[in-house]
Amino acid sequence: MEHVVLKMEGISKSFGDAKVLKNVQFELKHGEVHALAGGNGAGKSTLMKIMTGVYTHDEGKIFIDGKETVIEKPLDAKAQGIAMIFQELSLVQTMTVAENIFLGTEIVKNGIRDVKTMNEKTSQILHRLGMDISPSTIVSELSVGMSQMVEIAKAVSKDAKILVFDEPTAALSDSETKCLFEIITQLKNEGVSMVYISHRMNEILSICDSITILKDGEYVTTQDIKDMTLDKIVSYMMGGTSGKGHKFEWVERKHDENAGDVLKVEHLKVNEKINDISFTLKHGEIVGFAGLMGSGRTEILESLFGLRKKEGGTVILEDKEVHIKNPTDAIQNGFAFIPEDRRKEGLVLMHSIKDNAVLPILDRLCIKGIFNDDKRECALVEDNIKKFGVKAEHINQEIGLLSGGNQQKIVIAKWMNTNPKVIMLDEPTAGVDIGAKGEILEIVRSFADQGCGVIFVSSELAEMMAICDRIIILYDGRITGTISRKDIKLEEELQNAIQMA
């Protein structure tokens, strides 16, 4: 049990100027489930990508079974029996379970694929893992959870000794999660070592044997799970019981508690699950939506912005009911929405900073409603760049070449340019380095100071605590509580409210 299968020592990694891992260590024992925890940007994913050969480390050594090993590409990791279960599944949707499992290693008899043998072998593996799936099922017919099980089976069939799970339960239902945990236990008994990344602390506490915590790219500690509590983990993640990273401190704003409502939502129905959401937002107020993935945070914002069809309820903007059918309506009415996935939903990466920043308001900047006003566009974007401290060479630079933080500032600038009354931000600091995070929060505060309403969604509680005047707790599509900033003393209270709701 004490045999160390994998050891990483002094691992450092930089992307350009940003140092994402600083002298990190990690040790994985035979047949254990090892949790890897830390806030967004702590470096968990980067560390695992180094382990699986997706990235190469700048400094440090990797030992497998005590021998120093070079892992420079995914194939190296595969040869060592290291496999990652991807969040975005890597199965071919149109092929059968067996075909996927034997993809690239097909069993051939006389030059012809031996379907029967492959199906039988797949059956054995599936059976061993306690999965009730037929090998000849087409993958696209399986649920997300089932597909994930197949992915695990695929890794196991290749004799994987080390499995990495990155947020495996994010898209799973409760029963599927249970099933996954049974498989993990089974694999553990077979002597497979596993790394388990999750934001869900109760899962870590129930399934893992030990935990390593990272913070801002630095190693914090490794502990046995039986010595840990939720409070302890969270405080390690935040870097000590007292400290809350100086960037994320609550800043008192002049905010008129008697201001009128800018937005009032009554009995909003988005789908069967999210069917009765009511809340208000005052001028100059920042309200947070806290909840686990799947609690309905994003869906509510998308519905308000006209991206999802609203099935019922009323939306009242500055005392007038508004009917928003699409984003164009939303923008005209004064809504802005900074989406979760900057690269897919926020930006046209191949276009310039300027073209991106003025995209929603080209019609407002036109001369005589027809011709683009290049001078005004440039002046506006130059001003954006200065105001938000965007580091770029010039406004015609391709935006895909900027860092995540600078890209995100342009997304925010793009929406500020529409002069919104209500701005909704969905995970605005995801994948953004710690310095830019603080700056983005500052921008959001200044925006609220101008009298606009802000709805802020983030998985990072420290961030929510630093910026929100009020936090609405969502669980499974319902509002289960509202907490005023003043009533939350410790982050753990909020954590508990979200998880145990």
Partner 1 sequence: MQSKWHKKLEVSKFTVYIVLGIVFIFFSIALNGKGFIAPRNLLNILRQTAMVSVMAVAGVFVLGAGQIDLTVGSTAAMSAMFSALVLQATDNILFAVIIALLFGVFVGCINGLLVTKLKLPSFLATLGMMQAIRGMAMWITDTAAVPIKNQIFNNVFGTGYIGKVSVLILWTVFFYIIGFILFNKTRFGRHALATGGNELASKYSGLKTEKIKMMIFMMSGAFAAFAGIMYAGRMQSGRYSFGDGDEMSVIASVVLGGAAMSGGTGSMIGALAGSLLMGMINNALILAGLSSAQQKIVNGAIIIFAVALSNIVQNKKRK
Contact residues for partner 1 (CB under 8 A)? 307, 326-328, 330-332, 337, 339, 344-351, 355, 359-360, 362-363, 366, 370-372, 393, 397-398, 401, 414
* Cα–Cα distance, 473 to 464 (Å, whole number): 12
Question: Which residue type occupies 133?
Answer: I
The two three-digit tokens of residue 467, written as one number: 């910026």
Strands (E), 229-285: 261-269, 277-282
* Gyration radius from the chain CA atoms: 25
State both tokens at 187. 């694999």
Between 159 and 363, name the residue whose CB sits nearer to partner 1: 363
Half-sphere exposure of 134 (CA within 13 A, CB side): 5
Rounded to a whole number of angstroms, the minimum distance from the CB of residue 311 to partner 1 is 20
- Choose between 267 and 325: whose C-beta lies nearer to partner 1: 325
| Strand-pair category, 108-109 with 82-85 | unpaired
Q: Measuring CA to CA, which residue among 325, 253, 240, 310 is closest to residue 282?
A: 253
User: Please, what is the minimum distance in Å from the beta carbon of residue 436 to partner 1?
Assistant: 18
Cβ 342 to partner 1, closest distance in Å? 9
In angstroms, give the least distance from the CB of 75 to partner 1.
21
Pick between residue 259 and residue 348 the one whose CB is nearest to partner 1.
348
Nearer to partner 1, 366 or 483 (CB): 366
Minimum distance from residue 338 beta carbon to partner 1 (Å): 9
How far is residue 485 CA from its own chain's centroid?
A: 24
Residue (144 or 401) nearer to partner 1, CB: 401
Buried/exposed code over 337-360 (b: 16+ C-beta within 10 A; e: otherwise):
bbbbebeeebbeeeebbbbbbbeb
Do 8 and 30 form a contact (C-beta atoms < 8 A)? no
> Distance between CA 178 and CA 172 in Å, rounded?
9
**In terms of CB distance, is 152 or 331 closer to partner 1?**
331
Structural tokens at position 382: 């130059």
SS (H, E, C) 50-81: HHCCCCCCCEEEEEECCEECCCCCHHHHHHCC
Nearer to partner 1, 283 or 414 (CB): 414
According to DSSP, the β-strands at 470-475 and 286-290 are parallel
Q: What strands, in cross-sheet order, belong to the sheet with 4-15?
A: 67-68, 59-64, 4-15, 18-29, 218-224, 210-215, 33-37, 193-197, 162-166, 82-85
Shortest Å distance, C-beta 360 to partner 1: 4
Contacts of 41 (CB under 8 A, 6+ apart): 20, 216, 217, 431, 432, 433, 434, 437
Is-contact 214 36, C-beta < 8 A? yes
| Closer residue to partner 1, CB minimum distance, 216 or 426 | 426
Q: Could you tell me the smallest distance in angstroms from the CB atom of residue 326 to partner 1? A: 7
Provide the minimum distance between the beta carbon of 297 and partner 1 in the complex, in angstroms, as a whole number: 17
Cβ proximity to partner 1: between 147 and 356 the closer is 356
Tell me how far, at minimum, the Cβ of 262 lies from partner 1, in Å.
Answer: 20
Structural element, H or E, at residue 478: strand 478-484
Q: To the nearest whole angstrom, how small is the minimum distance from the Cβ of residue 381 to partner 1? A: 14
Angle at 309 between CA 304 and CA 311, to 5 degrees: 95
Q: Smaller CB distance to partner 1: residue 297 or 414?
A: 414
Please identify, using beta-carbon distances, which residue of 92 and 348 lies nearer to partner 1. 348
CA distance linking residue 287 with residue 422, whole number of Å: 11
Closest CB 370 distance from partner 1, rounded Å: 6
* 345 DSSP assignment: I
Q: Are 457 and 480 in contact (CB under 8 A)?
A: no
Nearer to partner 1, 293 or 348 (CB): 348
Which amino acid, one-letter code, is at 438? Answer: G
**Contact assessment for residue 129 and residue 149, using Cβ atoms and an 8 Å cutoff:** yes
**Cβ 340 to partner 1 shortest distance, Å:** 11
